Amino acid sequence: MQISQPLADEFNRAASFLPQVDDDTKPCIVIGGAQVYAYVEPGVGIVVSLHVDTGEIPAALLSPQETVPVRITVNGSDVYSAA
């Protein structure tokens, strides 16, 4: 799967932020149909959780196997990659 720069820019510019509004929600960025939660958990520290099971991932972001390719970096270094 190759995503063009203009399409990537379109998805990036359409990203939105959902703040925590009560004890049952966490702050979330919605981008390309995926939900990325990043929050502080007592006794743990920073937690980042990716949800791609939203049913809203555009076909352009799916692999031929209909999975969502993901690359996760920490401080610029890859720590996880799946196609």
pLDDT band at 1 (very low <50, low <70, confident <90, very high): low
Range of the domain at 10: 5-82
Could you tell me which residues are beta bridge partners of residue 81? 71
CA distance 2 to 65: 14
Which whole-number Å values give the CA distances from 64 to 32, 59, 70, in the listed order?
17, 10, 14
CB 11 within 8 A of CB 31: yes
**How many domains does one find in the chain?**
1
Q: What is the pLDDT of residue 83?
A: 83
Q: What is the pLDDT of residue 2?
A: 81
pLDDT in tens, 25-67: 999 999 999 999 999 999 999 999 999 998 999 999 999 999 9
